Structure 1
Amino acid sequence: MFDYDSELARYQERLSQALGIRRGDRVLDIGCGTGLTTRDAARAAAPGSALGVDVSGPMVARARELARTERVRNVEFVEADAQGHDFRPGYFSLGISRFGTMFFSDPVVAFATIGRALRPGARFVQLVWQAADRQEWHVAIKAALSDGHPSAMPTSAAGDPFTMADPQVISDVLSAAGFTAVDVVEVCEPVYYGPDAERAHAAVLQLGMAKELIADLDAVPVERALDRLRVTLDAHDTGDGVWFDSRAWLVIAHRP
C-alpha cells in the first residue's frame, strides 16, 4: 500500500494550520485514506469526535488498526462513497479533505450530500491538486515510464485527480451544491517519495498510474522504462529524501 501520508506530509501541515479545530468539534473527513487526517482531527477535537470516510476497504481497515494502536477512541471510520452516503443531517461542525474530493462522478451531488451533513455555519476545508502540467511529480514520473511521450499516457482507472484544478470550476461546483463564500488559495509544497532513490523506486511502482503505464509492455520495454525511472528519481534525490515540486489549492467554503 502506497504511503500517501509520507508523500503529503508537507501538505498535512498546511491543512492542519487552516482547519482551526476546536475542542468539542465533530469533524467529517472525506477520502480519509488510512486515517491520519481523521486521527489528528479527533485528537484536536476531543472531547468531540471525527468520522473518516473512504471507498477503499483496505485503507479503512488500516485506519481502524492505526486508531486502535494509537488509542484514539473518539474516531470512527466508514467504508463508503461519500457521494451517496446517508450522513446524519446537520451533525458535523467541520468538514475536511486532503486530496479526497476529486474523484466524484457527480461532484455537485457529492458536495450537496456533504453540505447536508454539516451544521449551518460550518466550514468545509479541502486540498485539491492544480492542473497536471503544474505537478512535477506527475510530469516527470509519467514521462519516464512512457518514454517521454505524455500524449501516450492512459487515463487512470482510479479516476482523474485533476478534476478540481480550475478555481472557477471549484467555485461553480461548490456554489451549485449550496456552499457560500468559497475561497481558493494557492498552496505549493514538495511531495516525498522515499529516503533515497532505490526506496522511492519501489514506492512509485505501487502507484496506480505507474502500474498502468507498464502493464501492457513486454519485458524489454518495461526494463527500459524502469531504468528511466531510476534516472529520474536519482535526479530528485536531495540527500534528504526524494522530492518533487507540486501545486495545490486550499479551498474553504461555508455551509449557510
Structure 2
Amino acid sequence: MPDVVNTEQAHAWNGPEGTHWARNQDRWNAVNEGFNEPLLDAAALTVADRVLDLGCGSGQTTRLAARGTPHGHALGLDLSGPMLAEARAGAEREGITNASFLQGDAQAHPFDAGEFDTAISRYGVMFFADPVAAFANVHRALAPGGRLAFVCPAEPLLNGWVVAMTSLRDVLPVGEFGQPGLPGMFSLAEPDRIREVLTAAGFTGITVSRTEALGAWGEGAEDAADFLLGTGPGRHLMEQTDAPGRSSARRALTNHLRAHETADGTVRLRSTSWLVTADRPATPADRA
C-alpha cells in the first residue's frame, strides 16, 4: 500500500483490529447505523455526485451513498484490507455497480484535484497522525463548492460503551479514554478542535452539531459483554489481568449492561457524536 504515513494505524487495521471489525461488520453496523441518516442528510447528495467515503470500513455508508447518487459514483477509502474485502463483497451481493473501494491513506493519497463533489465519513477521520494535513488533502480532492460531512464521537463519558468500560475500574486498570491532540477515537471530541483543524485545512462554513443514537450492542447482557470485551480496548484491558480477574470483569460488565436491556432483550447504549459539515469554497483562481 503506497503513500501511507499513518503506519501505526495501518498496522492495527490490517491486524487483529481490522480482522475483528471485518468479522463483526454486522454488529458494528448495528452499533453505528443510527448515524447514517443524519450523515447523509447533512451531505445533501445529488443524483450525480462523486462521493468520497473516508475510512469507509466495511462499506455500509459507501453503499448508501452510491444508492443516493445513481448517476454518480461513491469511492470508499480505508487502510484496512480485511474490511475492504467485506465492503467489496457487500456491494457485489447488493448489486451496487457505482461503488468502488480502495486501500489507502486519506492523509497522503494522491487524489486528483477536484475529483469529488462530496466527502463523507462515519467515524473514520479521528485517526490521522496530522489531521490538518489529512483534511487539507481532502480539501484538495473536492471540487470548488464541494461539501464535507462527517460524524465523530463527542467526549468519552457521553458514550454508553465508555461508561460501561469505566464501570470496571475496581477490577481492571481502566485509564482515561481519549488523549486530546493524539490520534484515536476521541481526538476530535472538542468542537473547538474540529473548527481549528478544518479552518487550517482551508474549509469554511463549518458547523458542528450534537447528535445521538441508540446502538444495539448485543442480544442480552452476556452477549453484549462478550462483544465489548472482544473489542480492541476490551482485549487490551483483559490482557492486563489474570483468569480470576477476567471472570470478575466479565461478571461486572454483564451486571452493568443488564440495566440497558430493552423489552426484547437487546442491549442498547447511547452514542453521542458531533455531526460536522464544511465547505470547500471556490477561490478566484477556480473562477478564472
Q: What range is the shorter-chain TM-score in?
A: over 0.9
How many residues are paired up? 254
Structure 2 segments unaligned to the other structure (5+ residues): 1-22, 282-288
Q: Give 2:149's aligned residue.
A: 125
Once the two structures are aligned, what percentage of the paired residues are identical?
39
Which amino acid is the alignment partner of residue 176 of structure 1? A
8 Å contact 1:145–1:214 — kept in the other structure? no
What TM-score do the two structures reach when normalised by structure 1? 0.93
Of residues 237, 245, 253, the one that matches 2:270 is 245
Provide the C-alpha distance between the structure 2 equivalents of 1:117 and 1:146, rounded to a whole number of angstroms: 48
Provide the C-alpha distance between the structure 1 equivalents of 2:273 and 2:197, rounded to a whole number of angstroms: 17
Of residues 34, 38, 46, the one that matches 2:62 is 38
Deviations 1:82-114 (A, max 9, x none): 111111210101110001101100000000011
Distance 1:149 1:214, change over 3 A: closer
Q: Give 1:168's aligned residue.
A: 192
Of residues 175, 186, 206, the one that matches 1:182 is 206
Q: Give 1:255's aligned residue.
A: 280
Deviations 1:199-219 (A, max 9, x none): 323322331110001112111
Provide the C-alpha distance between the structure 2 equivalents of 1:154 and 1:15, rounded to a whole number of angstroms: 23
Q: The residue matched to 1:34 in structure 2 has which SS?
A: coil
Distance 1:171 1:13, change over 3 A: same
Deviations 1:21-67 (A, max 9, x none): 11111000001010000001011101210000111111011000111
Distance 1:194 1:13, change over 3 A: farther
The offset of 1:173, in angstroms, is: 0.3
Q: The residue matched to 1:222 in structure 2 has which SS?
A: helix
**In the alignment, does 2:74 pair up with 1:50?**
yes
The offset of 1:141, in angstroms, is: 2.2
Q: Give 1:139's aligned residue.
A: 163
50-59 vs 198-207, greater mean Cα deviation: 198-207
Task: Name the Cα RMSD after superposition.
Answer: 1.9
What TM-score do the two structures reach when normalised by structure 2? 0.83
Structure 1 segments unaligned to the other structure (5+ residues): none
Q: The residue matched to 1:238 in structure 2 has which SS?
A: coil
Provide the C-alpha distance between the structure 2 equivalents of 1:178 and 1:106, rounded to a whole number of angstroms: 15
Q: Give 2:221's aligned residue.
A: 197
